[in-house]
Structure 1
């Protein structure tokens, strides 16, 4: 589905609801106002619902925004605002749940005409908030590397590679929109938002005030519990991400890489270094005339290419590094045997400290020298001597360790007893941290590393348990709903 199809569908639903309100209920004071209420209400309910299915996706997106905003404001006169964003990041999941529930409830209130003045102002403020986020995403494409967002005089030509957050997450993982389209969408929503504020008394109202209030509260409570379940207690009921059950990562990754390699150049956009003049040349024309555009005078600003036959997804970024920082991706994806793939996008600890520990080194010490003719033989003996080294000691979160000690490790031990190997992949940690964590959690199998965003995309659980074979995801589980290995063996391992 694309945005056009979605808008047409929502428009059709809004049209039917408008007829129902006007013809059957006779509650409308303005056909236009009723249609706008229904259109924006259905839009907010839908966009909120696809995010409610996967609240962690919105939480992770907000973490990206908070990190970029902290950096952006930290270099300006508004630096006093910067400390707010790390604090918000610590509560990103709660923030995401509140935002999702508020969006859907606001959609319901628009349909019902509940508390018209409050609804009108709340809708305007939420649209302004969304416009700020999508505008920041899109406009950072004009901000060159090393330039702060607020240094407007140093903005340059638009380059999508410069965008700090590449996707606004308006419709979660259900529908990905270009940042520019998302920004324009929110600008368009400001029109009905302003109409609601200045004409809220003309908004239709359905049912009695008491019924409207009851509906709003029931929806609020139900949605909050639904979001909490999907964020903390279980995996999303619908998986919109590319790493869903049944996907063959190796095959899809190969298809995406081949499609990317087979893209053809359509045109080049050139900029004159002296006059700042822009010229767009079709590829074939450029090949004929490139001598007229020497690199000393012209630079390539943009290369337009054909769309890949297979759209790129996060699967293209699936890269796993072994304990020695070597790429073990193909080794993992080509494993013909079933294996347990444990995903940890982040390790939780309260702090760390440096300690000096003593290690024993074995050294060879010469004892004597024997000379026989022209041959010289040196005899050595091995001595063990102590050496002081500095070591980082981590204060691990006990509740997080217990997820492994009580759930993951016993599961992997049962798997090992049935000749099924396990592998843990950790994000955002160096070798020293990983080794210390393995020891604290009682993990004996191999630990690898990967990009934390990739790991968040694979499974919405920390840790998350994925069963793989020959590059295919057979199934995956939240650690709170991990079945026994005997059940897994019976259902998946022949």
Structure 2
């Protein structure tokens, strides 16, 4: 029996198709972009996952955080790409819905309870606050519900089984391959303040003409005669109240952020020696080539890491006989761990200490190497990509 479609029915179907197409393009593109940005630096995303693990008492997953990050990034890219291609529509629709429900809960929890300051949705490329991330997830949820509701209307771009299988396989290999590659060979694009070409000392101070965060101090004061108590700002307090002997301050003042100012890119780098002396300026302003070997957690080096560190140490030792250079090991591990490592490997590197947070940002490798001169990052290498003595001489030292 023929079915007669009224103009209203056809118009409704047309609107649904347009809305579904837009939703697929919007969600698919955003998922691919988000996955690629994080896959560019899965180690950094892994650090963010560790914050969530701590909140939910899953710290036993910390050692696997980088590879969990690789899997999550890969799945994001795959689902986004498959959505755009129209492949496996039912599975993709269900996967997107479950994933966005989970992310929406996570970002709301982070924002409401203020447990994680940045969600890491787009890595370090586009930092978002938890509330911004939650709003983003709500918008995505709307479009994903449309995709889920009308998933049967999705048509694949390629219908032939062989072509579809080949393309799907390539998408999967590429999606996971990017993350695996950058774990070992460093990010393709470095969004961190220690990237090549940056002057570290300049990024540690407030530039001229810039204003930092503005805070307001709140005092609780009490009238000695009447017992009345109230809260006043520091401006109100200094506007005559402090001179009035009838009022006294109760407890310690509290602070409230009034205006967000310029954020210093590197606010937390402090390098010290074994005695606790600050040697940050001495290390960073060295006019000669300065190899900074970073091992954030020297006590977590596995056999492959030790072999890599030994190769780095040997190469630098050979170079130091012919060139005026300095080489240091930066770690957040204890002096006992560093001394033991030094004794076992006969390190030519001078050992200094810094907090784990800036060290994690310096180079996404344990160990990793930065080449500095006058505080400028000339080059960065992972434990795998650190070059030979001959390559370093040809590219840098012999010039």
Alignment pair present for 1:226 and 2:178: yes
- Please give the alpha-carbon distance, in whole angstroms, between the structure 2 residues aligned to 1:420 and 1:294: 60
Question: What value does the CA root-mean-square deviation take over the aligned residues?
Answer: 3.1
Contact in 1 for aligned 2:220/2:249 (Cα 8 Å):
no
| Residue of structure 2 in register with 1:53 after alignment | 40
- Please give the alpha-carbon distance, in whole angstroms, between the structure 1 residues aligned to 2:260 and 2:134: 24
| Residue of structure 1 in register with 2:370 after alignment | 466
The structure-2 alpha-carbon separation of the partners of 1:264 and 1:400, relative to structure 1 and needing over 3 Å to count, comes to closer
CA shift for structure 1 position 204: 4.4
- The counterpart of 1:420, out of the listed 325, 336, 348, is 325
Of the structure 1 ranges 35-44 and 329-338, higher mean CA displacement relative to structure 2 is found in 329-338
Secondary structure of the corresponding residue to residue 91 of structure 1: helix
CA shift for structure 1 position 404: 2.0
- How many residues end up aligned between the 2 structures? 375
| Residue of structure 2 in register with 1:103 after alignment | 76
Contact in 1 for aligned 2:27/2:144 (Cα 8 Å):
no
- The counterpart of 1:136, out of the listed 109, 118, 131, is 109
| Residue of structure 2 in register with 1:302 after alignment | 256
| Residue of structure 2 in register with 1:186 after alignment | 137
CA shift for structure 1 position 280: 10
TM-score, normalised by the number of residues in structure 1: 0.69
Consecutive unaligned residues in structure 1, runs of 5 or more: 1-25, 71-84, 142-163, 350-395
Contact in 2 for aligned 1:27/1:205 (Cα 8 Å):
no
Secondary structure of the corresponding residue to residue 191 of structure 2: coil
CA shift for structure 1 position 29: 5.5
Consecutive unaligned residues in structure 2, runs of 5 or more: 1-12, 223-229
- The counterpart of 1:236, out of the listed 187, 194, 197, is 187
- Please give the alpha-carbon distance, in whole angstroms, between the structure 1 residues aligned to 2:164 and 2:338: 53
| Residue of structure 2 in register with 1:252 after alignment | 203
Q: Residue by residue, what CA displacement relative to the aligned partner does 1:245-277 show, whole Å, maximum 9, x if unpaired?
A: 1111012212359845x5545x6788999xxxx
What are the within-5 Å matches in structure 2 for residues 88-487 of structure 1?
A: 88-141=61-114, 164-208=115-159, 210=161, 211-232=163-184, 234-255=185-206, 259=210, 263-264=213-214, 288=239, 295-296=249-250, 300=254, 302-308=256-262, 311-313=263-265, 315-349=266-300, 397-405=302-310, 407-417=311-321, 418-427=323-332, 429-487=333-391
- Please give the alpha-carbon distance, in whole angstroms, between the structure 2 residues aligned to 1:425 and 1:28: 60
CA shift for structure 1 position 284: 6.4
| Residue of structure 1 in register with 2:4 after alignment | none
TM-score, normalised by the number of residues in structure 2: 0.84
| Residue of structure 1 in register with 2:29 after alignment | 42
Contact in 2 for aligned 1:256/1:316 (Cα 8 Å):
no
- Please give the alpha-carbon distance, in whole angstroms, between the structure 2 residues aligned to 1:461 and 1:96: 15
- Please give the alpha-carbon distance, in whole angstroms, between the structure 2 residues aligned to 1:259 and 1:477: 33
Secondary structure of the corresponding residue to residue 436 of structure 1: helix
Contact in 1 for aligned 2:305/2:383 (Cα 8 Å):
no
| Residue of structure 1 in register with 2:6 after alignment | none
Secondary structure of the corresponding residue to residue 312 of structure 1: coil
Larger strand share, 1 or 2: 1
- Please give the alpha-carbon distance, in whole angstroms, between the structure 2 residues aligned to 1:216 and 1:126: 20
